[in-house]
Chains A and B, each alone.
Chain A
């Protein structure tokens, strides 16, 4: 069974501070990991995926297979980063998309 855990339901940081949103997964194999973001009144959209290894809007995420984690990081948070963030997993064989419960990030001025 595949499972994604986001331990923080709510996270608040001040503008300019570093931010880390935690994500742990369980999957018996090599999954593909994603971060999706939902800004207020917008549809859920892909932020980044681990295979592309790119930085989007200053966010990065590194897949740690030893710790089965895929934490999302940004060195200097901005107010426009305030949104709901979901970590997600796709199994290579099953190709079913499984989401974590989400973390509501609020960046304070």
Chain B
């Protein structure tokens, strides 16, 4: 069974640009979670999507947004990139029957 996949693995952008990160959940999972893992700050909750709808968002500015598609894959968009957005962005998926979350390998975003 394929796990959670994220693309790209690495992304380098300049300040002010936009970044788009993608996540494919495990087949059958309807929930997708996005987290930011910045150096020394642990996992910061960004967004939670379930069945195509945004269920909750963390304490991040509106330039962090996303969406979930009918096939439950998800995109995270970060507009007007700032240097401090440099981090590992993790996606996780889950289903209704099991509260365990399965994580992807992450996208390393570097803003220069």
Which residues of chain A have a CB within 8 Å of any CB of chain B?
32, 34, 36, 43-46, 49, 86, 88, 90, 94-102
User: How near does chain B come to A87, taking the closest CB pair, in angstroms?
Assistant: 10
- A43–B103 CB distance below 8 A: yes
A46→B100 contact, CB < 8 A: yes
B56 near A44: Cβ-Cβ < 8 Å: no
By a beta-carbon cutoff of 8 Å, the part of chain B in contact with chain A is 3, 31, 33, 35, 41-43, 45, 48, 50, 55-56, 90, 92, 94, 99-101, 103-106
Q: Give CA–CA (A32, B99) in the complex, Å.
A: 8
Inter-subunit contact A99/B43 (CB<8 Å): yes
Q: Which residue in chain A gives the minimum CB-CB distance to B6? A: A43
Contacts of B33 in A (CB 8 A): 97
> Which A residues lie within 8 Å of B50 (CB)?
95
- Output the nearest chain B residue to A94 by Cβ-Cβ distance: B56
